[in-house]
């Protein structure tokens, strides 16, 4: 399950990275509006999957509940970002997009976000470390 969470965070980071690319297309090509809209909804969909993945890592997987908070906050920021984009509030929309990319990179760079808590073994019946044996 932790691998699924890691992949989800990677896809989220990629989707957030591609959103400004499609914003550039919005300014230069006739189909840019549709592409940027599709990228925005892709970011939202991946953010929802991210929330689900963190819950699955926490509850049945025995991981930490802390990543759930990040995922929920990121989803809320994504909703605000979509609303600001629809309302054409570029003065907040653009910096918030940069902030989202930074948060997503930060989460991707944290290996501890996907690991089970310390002291727990990955396999039943085996100690978590040699010190615990």
Alpha-carbon distances of 89 from 82, 95, 123, rounded to whole Å: 10, 11, 50
For 89, other C-beta atoms within 10 Å of its C-beta total 12
Query: Cα angle at 48 between 93 and 101, to 5 degrees?
Result: 40
Cα gap 119→122, rounded to integer Å: 10
Q: What pLDDT digit, counting tens, does each position of 76-92 carry? A: 999 999 999 999 999 99
**What's the pTM value of the predicted model, to 2 decimals?**
0.77
Q: What pLDDT digit, counting tens, does each position of 18-31 carry? A: 999 999 998 899 88
């Amino acid at each position: 399950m932790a691998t699924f969470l890691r992949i989800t965070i990677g896809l989220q980071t990629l989707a957030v990275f591609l959103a400004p690319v499609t914003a550039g297309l919005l300014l230069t090509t006739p189909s840019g509006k549709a592409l940027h809209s599709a990228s925005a909804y892709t970011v939202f969909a991946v953010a929802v999957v991210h929330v689900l993945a963190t819950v699955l890592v926490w509850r049945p997987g025995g991981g930490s509940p802390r990543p759930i908070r990040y995922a929920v906050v990121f989803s809320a920021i994504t909703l605000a970002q979509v609303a600001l984009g629809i309302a054409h509030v570029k003065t907040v929309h653009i910096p918030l997009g940069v902030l989202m990319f930074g948060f997503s990179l930060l989460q991707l760079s944290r290996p501890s976000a996907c690991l089970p808590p310390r002291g727990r073994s990955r396999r039943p019946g085996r100690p978590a470390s040699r010190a615990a044996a």
